[in-house]
Structure 1
Amino acid sequence: MSLTGQRALVMGGSSGIGAATAELFAQQGADVVITGRDETRLAAVADRIGGTAHRLDATDPDLVAGFFTAPDEYDHLVLALSGAAGAGPFATLDLSALRDGFERKFWAHLGIAQAALPRLRGSITFLTAASARAALPGTAGLAAINGALEAMIRPLAVELAPLRVNAVSPGIIRTPWWDQVPEAVRDEMFAAQEKTLPVGRIGAAGEVAQAVLTLATNGFVTGSVLEVAGGVHLASGR
């Protein structure tokens, strides 16, 4: 597959799945632009992939609107913003944190997609999460955020055609995001998941990036949500 001559914009491309996706697109020959809030990490990724970096707080509608006033056009938009606020047992769930989670992920994704429309000519791929369809304790808030995004994929694919709209729904993926979780807690959770997942391990960012590339470049796929979750929804008996 060659993406030579095509431009890809990965918003949330400074780390984890976003960075892995930007790197994979670049390897296929695409001209890649990444955005994020951490200038140091952005610069490191851009230098590694030979891309262009723009510091941008994607939760600020005015900054997003300003970014898309530039005359640049893109063949592919990937929305890989993280927004895990809103997790926790429902009985004690901090609803203000859940609202913040919606602001940082649901509303940010929609605001970017809307602002980007005049500059797009190929595909939009959203990064959601397997929590949208799983039944994992402590993830009701996350399920609400990601489920809301996934519910919009099909109607958007019809309304925005011929622009193609899809989503990739990752499970638990080993990324730097987990560095904020105490190591002992993280390792215990990973070990528990590895015992129950049919694939027997935690996912890698590159595996999610491969799914994003597939949806973004297959011209006969739209309105789809592709799970990259290791079988988290399956009763494996492990």
Structure 2
Amino acid sequence: MTLLTPAQTTSHLPPITNDVPSGNNPAVSASTENAPSSKTHTPQELAVKLLANHSAFENPNYPDRISNAYLKVIATGKLVDGRDATPEQVELAKELLNNPETFDAIDGIGSGYKDGTLSWNDMAVAAGQFDSISDRSLLVQTRVYFREFAAGANDQYVNFNELREAAGEIPSTRTFSTPAKAVAKELLNRPELLRKLDIGVGFLGVFSGKQDDRFDLTNIDYMRGRSSDIPRSH
């Protein structure tokens, strides 16, 4: 069922800073930090590499977040805990620093809003690894591909059969993008989240809606504010 006024969601994350903790703040020379990377990867390829190096790159003050300040530290050849960075990690940090448009393309793609950092959800969505993102991030992606899921150009709802078509579980005459297929499949793999999305909320947000095997944009927005933002795997 639908809610008359879409729920407004706000971030309750603490403010993210780019400060490097005292004691782990090596002098970053411009020549080292801005030395060109010899490789160029797509945002998806970089996201896969960032996920593989996530524990080494994340901001210890804000776990799960990668900031530019920490990329600058790693570009000098050191991890933020003082250990030596691997050549691959140094190369990866330099490539991101020298391609801010790539950083910007990944920032917020998983959460739906930009905050100047890269979260696990951001990187996993960019990498196409939807099975590891949080319920909230999955709902963000469901909203992104809603019109692709809906059979009619002006349809207000996506029903479960349309979702199964997109996931490739039942035959379809329609064509779906690769990420839309993956998002549909992952949503179907989370039956409890899908059930809650189906029920949503009823008139004026006072009562629960009814279970009728479909959902609309309003229910997505309503559930986004009530779903976990913790990645499913890390």
| Structure with bigger gyration radius | 2
TM interval, shorter chain, is: under 0.3
Structure number with the higher strand fraction is 1
**TM-score, length basis structure 1:** 0.25
**TM-score, length basis structure 2:** 0.25
